[in-house]
Structure 1
Amino acid sequence: MKKYHRALTAILLASAASLSLAHGDDPKSHKTAAATKQQKEWGIAGDAKSVTRTVTLTMDDNMRFTPDKLSFKQGETIRFVIRNKGKLLHELVIGTQKELDEHAAMMLKFPAMEHDEPYMAHVRAGKTGGLIWTFNRPGEFDFACLIAGHYQAGMVGKISVAAASR
């Protein structure tokens, strides 16, 4: 039994270590230089020089985003300025409903897990963070705070990306 627990502990620690990269609070350090650009269903990491619009989102301890509905055009690169007006840590994670559901379930199992992808930003209480994202695919997408319990409390929003006109 001890051997089993040691093996399980080693697997869990290795998994956590591979996912445990910290977020920054500085809106000017959008993490995209360090993160690998990877095409996602909802877009790809953007570059500061390509920003076409800035959107400010606020998060609070009522487990809400303001605004909670966003609309973009395919091809827009958005600079998100994310203000945490609460006293708790919050985050913004962009994705599909399926991806967010899966990630939220993982966060419930490992609430101390930290991660660093170009489509997510942790923002400490009273601080401002940011990210830059290019919405290069049309569709309906989601964003949420996946900190354990926050997603389940309704801290979610919707993103609509209209296809580029030809």
Structure 2
Amino acid sequence: MKHLFFAASLALVSLPTLADSFTFGEPAPAAKATRTVEVLLKDIAFEPESLQVKAGETVRFVLINQGQLPHEFNLGDKAMHAEHQKEMVAMQGKLFTGAMQHEGMDHSQMNHAEGHGHAGGNTVLVQPGQRAELTWTFSKSAPIEFACNVPGHYQAGMVGPLTIE
């Protein structure tokens, strides 16, 4: 019985690691970046509107929210964005109020690991007037997008293609 309990515990501990894997790459430390790309987050728009990277490249994205609303920069495919949008809708009561600050969470600096179950490092929320960074190593070509999954933003067009060459 002890062996069964140990095996089950080990399997549960391993689940987050499996959930964090992405076919298109993985988070990386900023020091490993071979290129820096500045992305402006405006109200319901990204600038630039599309991004190109090379397979094997590590890119440091500097995200500057010039809008009046909180915005996300999230790397993923269409299915991942759809799933994340459901999580964001469930969180929206706390997302934009002081509730997260009162609970001791600095949402402007989080990578969604604490609040959204996204320990993958592929997402950052940036408050109005703030800057944030996300560094990613792109492993291979895959059809992905960068998007803002704050409720309604993706649907309003705050999404762009990211081509991995």
1:94 aligns with 2:97: no
SS in 2 for 1:93: strand
Kindly report which structure 2 residues correspond to 1:1-166, keeping only aligned pairs within 5 A, or say none.
Answer: 38-61=20-43, 63-111=44-92, 112=94, 115-116=112-113, 117=119, 118-162=121-165
1:46, 1:134 within 8 Å by CA — same for their partners in 2? Answer: yes
Structure-2 separation of matches of 1:47 and 1:106: 26
Tell me the TM-score normalised to structure 1 length: 0.70
1:48 to 1:109, Cα distance in 2 relative to 1, 3 A: closer
2:23·2:139 contact (CA, 8 Å) conserved in 1? Answer: no
Structure 2 distance, partners of 1:49, 1:129, is: 15
Q: CA RMSD in A?
A: 2.0
Contact 2:28 2:136 in 1 (8 A): yes
Gaps of 5+ in 1: 1-35
Q: Which amino acid aligns with 2:150?
A: I
Equivalences, count? 127
Residues 7-58 of structure 1: per-residue CA shift (max 9 Å, x gap): xxxxxxxxxxxxxxxxxxxxxxxxxxxxx79431221011222111000000
For residues 94-150 of structure 1, the C-alpha deviation after alignment (integer angstroms, 9 at most, x for no partner) is 001111012113322332367234111111101111110000121221111111111
Structure with bigger helix share is 2
Contact 1:83 1:127 in 2 (8 A): yes
Determine the C-alpha separation between the residues in 2 that align with 1:66 and 1:41.
Answer: 25
Which 4+ residue blocks in structure 1 deviate beyond 4 angstroms?
none
Structure 2: gaps spanning 5 or more residues? 1-16, 96-106, 114-118
Q: Using the alignment, how far apart are the partners of 2:41 and 2:30 within structure 1?
A: 23
TM-score, scaled relative to structure 2: 0.70
Letter in 1 for 2:67: G
Alignment-mate amino acid for residue 82 of structure 1 = L
Residue identity matched to 2:89: L
Give, in whole Å, the separation in 2 of the partners of 1:121 and 1:53.
19
Change (3 A) 1:110 1:49: closer
